[in-house]
Structures are given as C-alpha cells and as structure tokens.
Amino acid sequence: MQGAVDVLQKEFGGLRTGRASVSLLEPIVVDAYGSQMPITQVGTLGVPEPRMLTVQVWDKSLVKAVEKAVRDSGLGLNPSVDGQLLRMPIPTLTEERRVELTKIAGRYTEEARVSVRNVRRHAMEELKRAEKNSDISKDEMHDYSNEIQELTDTYIKKLDEAFANKESEILQV
C-alpha cells in the first residue's frame, strides 16, 4: 500500500505546476548511443531560477538528441541551446491547463486507490484461504480483516491528502 503512495508522489512530481522542478524532466528518455536512456544519465538537471530548468549535457554529440527528447515529451517546454547547456523557461499555466492538470492528478489518485484496494483484496483472499485450511480461527480472521480494512482506510486517506495538496499547488496562481 505504501508503494501505491510512493508511485503517486512520483507521478505528481511529473505534473507541471507553475514552479520549476527537476522531477518534471526525470521521465524523459533520450535516444543516446543506440538505445533509450533516462535524461538523468546524459546530463545534469538543474533549477537555477524558480521558473527555469536547465540540462547540462555531458556529451556534446547528444545535445540535439536531448533537445529533441524535451520537445517531444509533451510537457510544453521549448529548450534553447547554449553550447552544452539547455535552458527551458517554464511558461505560466492557463486556467484551462490548470483544470486539465487537476483532472490528470485525480486520475493518478484513482489508479493509486485501485492499487491499494487490490492489495486489500489479495490480503483478504489469503485470510479466507488460511481459515479454510484451518490455519486461523473465525475470530482471528475477523480481527485480521478489520485490521486490513483500517490499514486500507489509512492509505486511502493518505492518497486523498496528497491529491488535495497537489490540487491546491496546481490551482495556485
């Protein structure tokens, strides 16, 4: 269940808000040396200003490939090349883009909730199997199932809080 929360946090990191964050660029992969490589393995990511991202490419021959990967990433970033340094100003978000990002965040949250519920379902199946095989009593099964439900509720609440925080961050002008 904690894994679902961690994945949600990572997905939220990739959603662009008004502020620059290197986690925005981390999902980007670059065609380098005949294979797909994460952008973090071809250069150093930086945030020199609140509304600016930079990528210091280590290999001069990969500058064009990194620029192409950033342009094709769908993040709406337009890199300018200065030698081996790519600068990407973060444009301000329009109101409709903010609403769209909020919907995407909601979708990510719902996927995480489904993951948590799947963990609960697997745990309940294991409990039923253990009871059927007489490994645990009916009372123990009842206690364990209540404990599993409490854990599930706790993690669903964590997911909802993370969504509320991300939503307020996105909608902040």
Q: What is the 3-state secondary structure of 54-109?
A: EEEECCHHHHHHHHHHHHCCCCCCCCEEECCEEEEECCCCCHHHHHHHHHHHHHHH
Q: Which fold has domain 95-171?
A: Topoisomerase I; Chain A, domain 4 (1.10.132)
Q: Which residue has the higher pLDDT, 74 or 2?
A: 2
Average pLDDT of the chain is: 86
Kindly report the backbone phi and psi dihedral angles of residue 74, in degrees, each rounded to the nearest multiple of 5, phi listed first: 80, 15
Right CATH for 19-89 from 3.30.1360.40, 1.10.260.30, 3.20.20.80, 3.40.190.150:
3.30.1360.40
What are the residue boundaries of the structural domains of the chain, listed by start?
19-89, 95-171
* Domain 19-89 shares a fold with domain 95-171: no
pLDDT at 77 over 90: no
Q: What is the share, in percent, of the chain residues with pLDDT greater than 70? A: 95
pLDDT at 19 over 70: no
pLDDT at 122 over 80: yes
Tokens of 43: 């250069």
pLDDT at 59 over 70: yes
